Amino acid sequence: MEEGFPRRVVLEGCLNFRDLGGYPARDGRVVRPGLLYRSDALHLVTPSDIAILRDKLGIETIVDLRSSEELRSEGRGPLAALPIRFHHVPLVDGLTMRPEARTQASMQLADRYFLLAEFAKDRIATVLETLAASDGPTVYHCAAGKDRTGVLSAVILGLLDVPDDTIIADYVLTAEALDAIQQRLLQSEGYQSILAALPPDTMHAEAETMTRLLEKIRARYGSMREYAEAAGAKPEALQRLEERLLGPS
């Protein structure tokens, strides 16, 4: 997946910062590199990381998918001092998404992803419209850059008509850094309790998980475009997102 395109951005503080560009869409166009990035938590960036994000990548907008409690506990880190647009759109606030989510521990990870996609539809639509309105390079992130970020990445790439096998491969790329990400999160007292409460399969990034999520979304909505519209994303925003992110091969 990384051959011929330097997808992963090497940083000291982030272990899962990747360019979503370079992926081919079914119509022959390609997701434009250097415009949209996905990442794990940005609050741990170092001064050298800031130089890369600001001077090399030119990041202009950050979309933070973490919960309000995570933001209060961990903060925004050094990037808060820079003139970068910041949007906080928590996909989940609290450990449960709704009362019946108490059964999540017995659900497979793909089912929990689908529950997230259902419960956070309005917030996902907000993120899509925010990305569509952003002009410069943008990064969205959660804590590990795998679950909330992974679901959102699947929605975005699906909207851009990137083939399923590519969407799945993009998700699986997180597995390469997952052990290191987990160890880094465990160094934070706030994340120790969160990780301890999660089902064991949460710290996996397997192809089957994303395959099943894509199947479940299509079974319910028909297509990723129909999912996004049902979530409340305006058609003109989705068109703007496509025009902004897709270019000639």
Name the β-bridge partners of 39.
141
Place of tokens 């933001």: 71
Q: Report all structural domains of the chain as residue ranges with CATH numbers, in order of start.
A: 18-93+109-247 (3.90.190.10)
User: Tell me: the pLDDT tens digits for 114-124?
Assistant: 999 999 999 99
Using the Cα atoms of residue 75, residue 33, residue 174 and residue 26 in order, give the sign of their dihedral.
positive
**Angle at the Cα of 11 (from 213 to 65), degrees rounded to 5?**
40
Average the pLDDT over 188-213 and give the result: 78
Q: Which structure tokens are listed for 196?
A: 């301890």
**Under DSSP, is residue 137 helix (H, G, I), strand (E, B) or coil?**
coil
Range list of β-strands (E), 54-121: 61-64, 85-88
Average the pLDDT over 24-39 and give the result: 97
Given a cut of 90, whether residue 38 has pLDDT beyond it is yes
Contacts 24+ apart (CB under 8 A), 95-102: 95/194, 95/197
User: Tell me: the pLDDT tens digits for 75-125?
Assistant: 999 999 999 999 999 999 864 444 444 445 568 999 999 999 999 999 999
Q: How far is CA 86 from the centre of its chain?
A: 15
Spatial distance between the Cα atoms of 143 and 127, rounded to a whole number of angstroms: 17
Average the pLDDT over 158-181 and give the result: 95
Whole-number pLDDT of residue 97: 46
Whole-number pLDDT of residue 94: 64
Q: Which structure tokens are listed for 51?
A: 């130089």
Spatial distance between the Cα atoms of 8 and 137, rounded to a whole number of angstroms: 15
Whole-number pLDDT of residue 194: 67
Buried b (16+ CB within 10 A) or exposed e, 161-176: bbeeebbbebbbbbee
Whole-number pLDDT of residue 175: 93
Average the pLDDT over 213-239 and give the result: 98
Q: Which structure tokens are listed for 112?
A: 């929990």
User: Tell me: the pLDDT tens digits for 139-168?
Assistant: 999 999 999 999 999 999 999 999 999 999
Given a cut of 80, whether residue 217 has pLDDT beyond it is yes
Average the pLDDT over 198-220 and give the result: 89
Average the pLDDT over 182-187 and give the result: 79
Place of tokens 């990137």: 162
Spatial distance between the Cα atoms of 38 and 59, rounded to a whole number of angstroms: 12
